[in-house]
Every structure is written in structure tokens, then in C-alpha cells.
Structure 1
Amino acid sequence: MTIETWFAFAATAVALVILPNPLTRTVALYSKQRGRLSAVVTVPALALGLGLAFTAGLAPLLLVCFYAPSAMTAIGWVGIAYAMVYVLWCFQDPQVRAPLADNDNLPTRRFDRIFADVFVRCVRTPRYAIILAALTAQFLRPSLSLSLQAEVLTAIFLASIAGSALAQALIPSLALRGTKRFSRRNPALNKPGTVFIARRAVTAGFRRIAA
């Protein structure tokens, strides 16, 4: 693998974090509501969780490269198609587009539970392992040493993810840019069957009752 390939893969990993997604939004929210010190646990949790997802996606690709290297071309095209769908999903995900609440709506305060929360979010769904496999398929070469490629790609991925997540934690506005604050000035307007009563009519009614 050339240095150009390494840089391209690193840029791809960084783009995965920069794209709007629930994981980096969670890291940014913890930093915004718990302070930037939360990066001590959120960044390692994100790197470890996505690292596990990366391994889960890389293992099948290595098997295909070893036993059926000719199939990697087709897998690469399927991976490109899935990556396009994933980008669209990132921008339309309700968890990403949800407005920011003024109150603290995060699930936990303790750092150990924050670590567990971020880690579980990374591994509880297969979508991250699938997208990582789709992206990694663009860089694997069956003709080269598979073990060396696996080691180099894993190291580059972990370093890129950790650096990008740290930037999101230290500057949470990067991940929360464009997100509107939750605001409901007239909550009664959205309720079906709402009947509005004039203030003077209510006051007159109370006066009659008092009389």
C-alpha cells in the first residue's frame, strides 16, 4: 500500500466522523452539557466501539480476499452504493435533526456510565460495521499481504477516529452546527380540539361564582 492510499483511508475515516451522525452528536452533547472533560471517556469509548465495529467489518473482507479475491470487485461496487445511501441517511436521521433541548436530557452523569453509553451506541447496531466494511473494501488489495494491510488500516483508522472525535468533543459546535433549539411558544396550538377562552370572559365567570 502506498502513502497516498494511507492518506486517502485516513481522510475517509475522518469524513465518517465529520458527517452528521448520532455518535458524534452524542459526544458533542456530553461535551456541551458535562464539560470538555467528558472527552476523557467519550473519545476512548467512541474509538474502542468503532474499532470493534471496524474489526467486525474487516474480518469477512479478509476471508473473501483469501478465498475468493475475484469477488472483491463486485463487493467494492456494492460498497460504493451503500456508502451513498449511508450519506443520505446521515443527513435525514431523526436523531441528528432533532432540535436541542434547553434542559439536560442525557441519560447519565457518571463518567463510567458515559463511557458505557457511547460504547454501546457504537456496537448495538450493525450499520457502522457495514459502512466500515463498505469503505474498507475500496482500499484492500488481495494481491498484497493481508496481515500487513489489516494492521496498517486498523492503526490508521483508530488514530483518525480518535483525533476527529477529540476535535468534536473540544469544539462541540462543530457537530451541533445547524441544529435548532427546541422551542414551543404556543404548545396548545398543536393539541387537537383546543378551545381558546378570552381572559375577560374567564374573569367575569369567576366574579359571578364569587357573587
Structure 2
Amino acid sequence: MSLAHWLPFAIASAIVIIIPGPTVLLVVSYALGHGRRYAFATTAGVALGDLTSMTASMLGLGAVLATSAALFTALKWVGAAYLVYLGVKLWRAPVSDAQTPDISETRASKVFAHAYAVTTLNPKSIVFFVAFVPQFMDLHASAWPQIPILEATFIGLATLNAFGYALLASSARRAIKSRTVQRAVNRTGGSMLIGAGVLAATWKSASV
């Protein structure tokens, strides 16, 4: 794959990735609620979720979702419901004093699973990959040598982006000492996740 095809893809991907979406909201919410200790778990979940969505897209699932209204709608509602569930859970999360660690969620495996599910159960992402990636491929060369390069580039950038958001949010968390402020942060993050779920439920593909 030539640099002329790869570099525009990398730049466009970075621009798309840095815009906060449901996945970033989840990463920030966990970092604010639990600190830096879950940054790796959420980042790993995001990376594996992007890998799953992108690979599924390249294998043709995106084309199916783009043409099958029933399948797209079903997956869309599952992902939207999960985002709303996480938003309600964050809204109701207990707060603690700054000196007392938040232990409402102690298993990194569950944090990883949540990040993976939110990233994967987003039909918009799958359709997006199908529409986005081919624009940067060399049509005169074999597709399969290019796909791993493009996947590795996008996932690498998405992973760095998620980890950066997690570190920034965890640093902001250490500055928060008021239980009232913590509760407001939880409810703000929860509201944003619920809003993301509603948007995911109402988003329509042009092909559906």
C-alpha cells in the first residue's frame, strides 16, 4: 500500500476518531468514576471492539446491515438499549470522599466488557467502516494486503485516543473533592450516555 493512499486515511481517521462519541463518553465516565486504574481495561475494550466492528465490516456484515432494514434496526436497538442502561447505572452510581476510592465496580473484566460492547454494538460504526475505508484503498491492488494495514492504523489511533481521554479524565477526577460535584459529574455523564443511546436509536442509515 502506497503512502499516498495510507496518509490521507490516517489523517481522516484521526479527525473522525477525536470527535467524542458513545465510546469516548463511556471511557471518560469510567475514568471520572474510578480513576486511572481502569484506563487500560476500557482502552483494551475499545480496541477489541473496533477490531471486531472493522473486521466484520470488511467481511461483508456492513453491506448486509446497509441493505437489511430489519437486521440494522435490531442491532441498533440492542446497542441503544445498552447505552441507556449504562447511562442509568452511572446516574445512580454512589459517590465517595476524595480520599476514599470508589469501589462500586471492582472488576476490570466487567469494565472491559462494557467498553467492548458499546464499541461493537454500534451498527453506525459498521456501516461507516464500509463507506469510509474503501475510499482510501488502491483499487488497482489486491484488497487483502491493504485491509490489515488500514485496520491496524485505525485501531491504533482509536486506542491512543481512548487512552488519552481516560488519562485526562482521571486527572480531572483527582481535582474533584466535593461529593456534590462528583454526583453532578456522574449524572452529567449518565445523561450523555442516555442521550447517545437515544441518538443511536433514532439514527437512520441512508440505505435503510
> With structure 2 as the length reference, what TM-score do the two structures score?
0.59
Give me the whole-angstrom Cα distance separating, in 2, the residues matched to 1:157 and 1:104: 36
CA RMSD of aligned residues (A): 3.5
Task: Identify the structure with the greater helix proportion.
Answer: 2
Q: C-alpha deviations, 1:74-128, integer Å up to 9, x for none?
A: x9xxxxxxxxxxxxxxxxxx99xxxx969559x9442110000111111223111
1:163 matched to 2:160 = yes
- Summarize deviations over 1:47-99 as a string: whole Å, max 9, x none: 100111011112239x9xxxxxxxxxxx9xxxxxxxxxxxxxxxxxx99xxxx
Q: Where do 5+ consecutive residues of structure 1 fail to align?
A: 64-74, 76-93, 174-179, 184-211
In structure 2, what is the equivalent of residue 33 of structure 1?
Answer: 33
Structure 2: stretches of 5+ with no match in the other structure: 67-83, 96-103, 171-183, 189-208
Query: Aligned residue for 2:69?
Result: none
Determine if contact 1:39/1:166 at 8 Å carries over to the other structure. Answer: yes
- Give the whole-Å Cα distance in 2 for the aligned partners of 1:37 and 1:8: 35
After superposition, where does 1:111-126 map in structure 2 within 5 Å?
A: 111-126=108-123
2:202 alignment counterpart: none
State the number of aligned residues: 147
> What is the CA–CA distance in structure 2 between the aligned matches of 1:40 and 1:125, rounded to whole Å?
21
Map 1:1-211 onto structure 2 (within 5 A): 1-60=1-60, 104=94, 108-172=105-169
Partner amino acid, structure 1, of 2:46: L
Deviation of 1:141 after TM superposition, in Å, equals 2.5
Return the alpha-carbon distance in structure 2 between the equivalents of residues 7 and 118 of structure 1.
28
TM normalised by structure 1 equals 0.58
Letter in 1 for 2:44: P
Give me the identity figure in percent: 25
Q: 2:10·2:154 contact (CA, 8 Å) conserved in 1? A: yes
Q: Which runs of 4+ in 1 moved over 4 A?
A: 100-105, 180-183
Structure ID, larger Rg: 1
